[in-house]
Amino acid sequence: MDKEFEITHTQEEWQERLSKEEYHVLREKGTERAFTGAYWNHKAPGNYLCAGCGNELFGSDTKYESGTGWPSFWAPLTPDAIGTETDYAFGMARVEVHCSRCGGHLGHVFSDGPKPTGQRYCLNSVSLEFEPES
């Protein structure tokens, strides 16, 4: 990753801190298989945090069932919680979503979501941790 983020580690440090699957998704921009992650069908109230650094990203109040098999949200908790950049992998242009604090890859955002934003933040469960509402 070329950008400067608040939380940085060497490749070796990330490999020590993250599981193999977390490293693949967060640091190598991988994707978990649909309908396999812990949060695609998760409905408890609370917040979703970056599994790499604990940054608060999305709230359960903006989570919805998109039918894709991945956790989907129509808005982040705050606009500066995430960053985006165009991803040209697989011969098409998509908008990648990453954690604004550590740069970890979270998934992609599409403009086919529900109102009020029309956005579908389609994320990998493995890139997230869940903090239940207290």
Residue 122 catalytic? Answer: yes
The owner of tokens 């979503």 is 97
Decide: 48 and 129 in contact? Cβ < 8 Å. Answer: yes
pLDDT tens digits, 103-130: 999 999 999 999 999 999 999 999 999 9
Q: Tell which residue, 120, 23, 16, 125, has the closest CA to residue 65.
A: 120
Cβ count within 10 A of residue 66: 19
For residue 2, tell me if it sits in a domain.
no
Predicted pLDDT of residue 3:
66
Predicted pLDDT of residue 120:
97
For residue 3, tell me if it sits in a domain.
no
**19: domain CATH number?**
2.170.150.20
Q: Tell which residue, 78, 41, 66, has the closest CA to residue 121.
A: 66
Provide the number of structural domains found in the chain: 1
Peptide bond into 114 cis (omega under 30): no
Catalytic residue among 50, 99, 102, 122: 122
pLDDT tens digits, 8-24: 899 999 999 999 999 99
Given pLDDT bands bounded at 50, 70 and 90, which one contains residue 101?
very high
Mean pLDDT of 13-39: 96
Which residues does 14 contact at the CB level (< 8 Å), separation at least 6? 23, 26, 27, 52
For residue 23, tell me if it sits in a domain.
yes
Q: Locate 71 and state its tokens.
A: 């956790």
Predicted pLDDT of residue 88:
83
Mean pLDDT of 19-43: 96
For residue 19, tell me if it sits in a domain.
yes
Given pLDDT bands bounded at 50, 70 and 90, which one contains residue 1?
very low
For residue 6, tell me if it sits in a domain.
no
Given a cut of 60, whether residue 27 has pLDDT beyond it is yes
For residue 93, tell me if it sits in a domain.
yes
- For 122, the domain range is 11-132
